[in-house]
Structure 1
Amino acid sequence: MATNLILGTVLLLCLIAVAWPFLFYPLLLRALPTVPEAPVDGPPPTASLLFCAYNEAGAMPEKLANLAMLKQRHPALEILAFDDGSSDGTGDLIAAQGDLVTLLRGPGRSGKAYGMKQLAARARGEVLIFTDANVLLDGEAVERLLARYADSEVGGVLGSLYYIGAEDSATASVGSLYWRIEERLKDEESRTGNVLGADGSIFSIRRSLYPDFPDSVLDDLTVSMAVVFAGKRLVKAKDVIARERLVTARKDEYRRKVRIAARAWHTHAHLRPQLQRMAAVDRFKYASRKIVRWFGGLFILVGAVAAGALAMRMSPSLYLAGALCVALLLWIGVRAKSGPFAALVDVLIAYAATLQGVAKAMTGRTVTVWNPAQSR
């Protein structure tokens, strides 16, 4: 009886841990008070828009047209790009638009963190706007983003990412659902004080807050968290819209998540001393949205073992029936291209990839360079 109680408790705790970032944490966030912003009158700050590219020739025509539209609306906007040793002519496409974009060419494969540092060192704007080579910004994005800096306590502003192509595959559908949840969590975090970290699709900081960091870290997380460490607010603007096409192939998404998780955990280790000095509410947010999620795969694995052991103790027939049922569902999901079973498999794959990336980083390995997904 005692063993059954222990197994049941372990299973319950694992279920709570897996659900925590998506169910319990959002509920607790909604109970926190709103921290208002205090804008003042004055001209908007000047801005520089930065992005890195590697073998993005297919995305460049649309990207450059998008940048031209933004430049027309904001003639003073400085635009800088870093080409990380592309072999498909990406750098040449950007260089051909020299009156629009200032191009820096890397010495070879150096990685995004290295490239962004080079761009930030060259930028002259009071606000640095970071985006990706395959991301398109809505026409009003820049002015709406800069407007949030009217509050002197705001040190960084995130935008909202809208994914395109959610209907193209189960992998894309799961990715879209995950990101919609992520966007809502960031909205609530912003309302209650600080968002705990940005992704590279669209975010910005005051240039004076740009930190120094090694090339091996996840620059999006490192740079955005520098705002919080400096005692300023990192907020999210719902009306600053960026758009990006989803990854549709499982193998591409798996590799992408392994890479991001490895670099995120490596970055976490690098930032640990500063993270420990954050306010209690920010430490709670960081642990809930990041650390608990990074180990979601482990919680699923431990919970599955506990459930299997509990079923075996109750009835070997129950254990066998449950195991066969799970195996059948996974087999159907692996073969299916859409539907709930395919989505279930993609969720499990995402957790497995994240756990693999974290384990990789814990052994001292990380990923510096990146390759664009071919299935976008």
Structure 2
Amino acid sequence: MAIFFTILLVLCVAGVAHTYLVYPWYVVKRAGARPWAGNQLVPHAVWMPGNFAGRDATKDWPDVHVLMAAHNEEAVLERKLTTLADQDYPGKLHYYVGSDNSSDRTNQILTDWANRDDRLRPTLFTSRQGKPSIINQLAIQAGTEGVYVLTDASVMLRPSTVRELVRPFLNDAKLALVDTTMVQTGGTARGIGETETQYIDREVAIKRAEGKLWGAMIGPFGGCYALLAGAYRPVPDKFLVDDFYLCLSAYEQGYRGISSATAIVEESVGQHLRDEFRRKVRISSGNWQNLIRFRNLWWPPWRNPLAFAFFSHKVLRWLTPFLLLIGGLAWVGLAVTTLNPYVLKSVAVVTAVMIGGVLLDAVLSQLGIHVRALRKLRYFLAMNLALLVGFYRYLTGISSNVWQPSNRN
């Protein structure tokens, strides 16, 4: 029995270590040592290596259709629309914004802007739709030609963002998705802002490395990214994470996706653990929808680079709370069956550190004392708990994809 518990514990530790330590180190290190490489990712994908440097001067820039859903976004909407209006994109730009039955000044702001700028085409919905449904309807309005830029109201663009998003499409017919580089602002040690900023920066590096190595970064951030209009597939009803669905749908068609280092956007990082927990629960539920829907892209994980990246970066990450629980039970089982004092002590010490660390961070934060190690531990455990709650909600059935925006203060 001890052998069984040992093997189970080793497998769980290996799974968590691979997704959080080994894979990020491997993919970033390897991408730093080699250029864009032409590996076939999915069946029937035709690889056409892209060289994007200095070859767009004589190109015709495609029409760009910005798609955005908004619900009660008066706090950020004026600034958001200003960043869209200030784009220096060489081609034509159109802005499609769907107000999801907003009850604040969102509709008035959109109407006023539309009267001043005929590129803005607002749709004011009188009943809640949910972001994916609104994006589906806006995509119909925009048509199937050109490039979509899908963005959130809270994400601010720099003047060159749209141009840099579209640039890679000019020379690569098999490229369908280009993600921005997200710069988080306002992160402090007071809440979880600093920890969240570090997490986002790490994810940016991993996704950029995946795109450089294999042309398949595993999912855009969702706050702002470009998608080839012809690769768009309507997001199914009740699906919660539309950006990941659209990304994987494009890969399923044989397209590729990369992260751009020059298309930069900014977003104010969340400071409140409660808000981030709620957001992660919703994302977790949607992740399981996509995990099952696109299981052909990640199983078996050794089939091709896309499957390996998907399994390593996302599947194991979403399974981490289960690996932690099973590994913990195996560790306890090993201690009980062997009665080894070192194993018993290690279980007691780790348990005390985890519980005590979370409680201590909660108390110290109320006193204005912020210890980075304790905050990271609390954040890690809270986010994995959110994954568990999200899985439970997925199992019990998702009845709606209507969402509430995060705190914009």
TM-score (structure 2 length as normaliser): 0.84
Distance 1:78 1:322 in 2: 55
Distance 1:106 1:244 in 2: 26
Q: Which moved more, 1:195-204 or 1:240-249?
A: 195-204
CA change 1:73–1:206 in 2 (3 A) is closer
Any conservation in 2 of the 1:44–1:149 contact (CA below 8 Å)? no
**Alignment match, 1:346:** 379
**Alignment match, 1:139:** 159
**Alignment match, 2:14:** 16
| Identity percentage of aligned residues | 24
Amino acid at match of 2:164: R
Following superposition, the deviation at residue 370 of structure 1 comes to: 1.0
**Alignment match, 1:89:** 105
Any conservation in 2 of the 1:47–1:77 contact (CA below 8 Å)? yes
**Alignment match, 1:78:** 94
**Alignment match, 1:191:** 212
Any conservation in 1 of the 2:157–2:266 contact (CA below 8 Å)? yes
Amino acid at match of 2:50: E
Q: SS of the residue aligned with 1:51?
A: strand
Any conservation in 2 of the 1:173–1:343 contact (CA below 8 Å)? no
1:48 and 2:92 aligned: no
For structure 1, which runs of at least 5 residues remain unmatched after alignment? none
Amino acid at match of 2:272: A
Following superposition, the deviation at residue 248 of structure 1 comes to: 1.0
Following superposition, the deviation at residue 341 of structure 1 comes to: 1.0
Amino acid at match of 2:135: M
Any conservation in 2 of the 1:111–1:215 contact (CA below 8 Å)? no
1:127 and 2:123 aligned: no
Following superposition, the deviation at residue 324 of structure 1 comes to: 3.7
Q: SS of the residue aligned with 2:221?
A: coil
**Alignment match, 2:24:** 26
Which aligned segments of 4 or more residues in structure 1 are displaced greater than 6 angstroms? Answer: none
Any conservation in 1 of the 2:64–2:91 contact (CA below 8 Å)? no
| Count of paired positions | 373
1:112 and 2:131 aligned: yes
CA change 1:322–1:161 in 2 (3 A) is closer
**Alignment match, 2:179:** 158
Amino acid at match of 2:204: E
Following superposition, the deviation at residue 219 of structure 1 comes to: 1.3
Amino acid at match of 2:106: T
**Alignment match, 1:287:** 311
Any conservation in 1 of the 2:97–2:122 contact (CA below 8 Å)? yes
TM-score (structure 1 length as normaliser): 0.91
Amino acid at match of 1:109: R
Distance 2:278 2:150 in 1: 23
CA change 1:353–1:26 in 2 (3 A) is same
**Alignment match, 1:250:** 273
Q: Which moved more, 1:292-301 or 1:327-336?
A: 327-336
Following superposition, the deviation at residue 14 of structure 1 comes to: 1.9
CA change 1:234–1:82 in 2 (3 A) is same
Distance 1:108 1:18 in 2: 43
CA change 1:314–1:208 in 2 (3 A) is same
CA change 1:10–1:204 in 2 (3 A) is same
Once the two structures are superposed, residues 106-153 of structure 1 have per-residue CA deviations (whole angstroms, 9 ceiling, x without a partner) of: 241110100001111111550001110110011111111111012222
Q: SS of the residue aligned with 1:198?
A: coil
Any conservation in 2 of the 1:136–1:242 contact (CA below 8 Å)? yes
Following superposition, the deviation at residue 282 of structure 1 comes to: 0.7
Residue of structure 1 aligned with 2:223, choices 178, 183, 201: 201
CA change 1:319–1:147 in 2 (3 A) is closer
Distance 1:206 1:323 in 2: 49
Equivalent positions of 1:313-332 (< 5 A) are 313-315=339-341, 319-320=347-348, 322-332=350-360
Following superposition, the deviation at residue 318 of structure 1 comes to: 6.1
Distance 2:251 2:154 in 1: 28
Q: Which moved more, 1:92-101 or 1:30-39?
A: 30-39
Distance 1:6 1:284 in 2: 27
How large is the Cα RMSD of the aligned pairs? 2.4
Any conservation in 2 of the 1:157–1:234 contact (CA below 8 Å)? yes
Amino acid at match of 1:216: K
CA change 1:8–1:214 in 2 (3 A) is same
For structure 2, which runs of at least 5 residues remain unmatched after alignment? 38-48
Amino acid at match of 2:16: V
CA change 1:153–1:317 in 2 (3 A) is closer
**Alignment match, 1:357:** 390
1:333 and 2:361 aligned: yes
Distance 1:156 1:319 in 2: 46
